[in-house]
Chains A and B, each alone.
Chain A
Amino acid sequence: DTGVSQDPRHKITKRGQNVTFRCDPISEHNRLYWYRQTLGQGPEFLTYFQNEAQLEKSRLLSDRFSAERPKGSFSTLEIQRTEQGDSAMYLCASSLAAQPPGVGEAFFGQGTRLTVV
C-alpha cells in the first residue's frame, strides 16, 4: 500500500454538471476525511467517516454535496449542479481512530483539482 490515492487528479467541468471523485485510503485506516482547499488557504473540513458511518458533516457541505463510503473502504464525493465557486482542490485523508478520541496521524492524498468553467 503506497498511501492515499485519489482519482482523478484533475477535472474540468461545465457549470451545472455533476462530478464524482474517488478516494482509496490506506488499507488499515478506519477513518476517512474529505477536505476542500482553495488557493492561499488551509484545507477546510467537509466530512468524515469511521468505517462506513458518516460521523460529521461541515456546514460547508451544501445539499449539492454527498459523500459515501459503502463498505468502509474507498469513498466517493459527488457534487451535483456544479458552480464556479466549487472550483478548488478536494483532498482526502485517512487515519486510525485514536485513543483518547481524536485523529491519529492523518495522511493525505494528492488531491483532485476541480475547475468549473
Chain B
Amino acid sequence: QKEVEQDPGPLSVPEGAIVSLNCTYSNSAFQYFMWYRQYSRKGPELLMYTYSSGNKEDGRFTAQVDKSSKYISLFIRDSQPSDSATYLCAMSEGQLTFGSGTQLTVLP
C-alpha cells in the first residue's frame, strides 16, 4: 500500500462546477499538507499549504485536512478551463511524499 493514495481520474467537469479532489494517507507523522497544480511538461506549482487539521481558503480554492481520518481535500469553486491540469497532493514529515495526481479537465 502506498503512503499516499490519490484517485488518478481523469476527471472532466463543465465550466463553473465545483470540483472535489481527495487524498488519503497512512503515515500519522505527516504534519504539512500541500496541493500542487502541474501543467503538462512543467514543474509542480504550489497552490495551497496547510499545517494541522482544518480548512484554509484562498480565492476559489479551499483545502481541508482531517488528520483523524487521514484524509485531505481540495475544493475548486467556479472552475475555469484554465484550471485544467494535474493536481497533486503532497505531505511531509521530513521530505515530501506525493500522490500520483488527478488529471482534471474543465470543459468550456
Contact = CB atoms under 8 A, between A and B. Distances in A.
A43 interface: yes
Interface class of chain A by DSSP: strand
Contacts of B32: 98, 102-104
B79 interface: no
A107 B47 CA distance: 10
Interface residues of A, number: 30
B59 interface: no
B96 A93 contact: yes
Interface in B56-108: 88, 90, 92-101
Interface of B: 4, 6, 8, 31-32, 34, 36, 41-46, 49, 88, 90, 92-101
7 contacts: A4-B43, A45-B95, A100-B31, A106-B90, A106-B96, A108-B45, A108-B46
Interface of A: 4, 6, 33, 35, 40-45, 48, 55-56, 89, 91, 93, 98, 100-111, 113
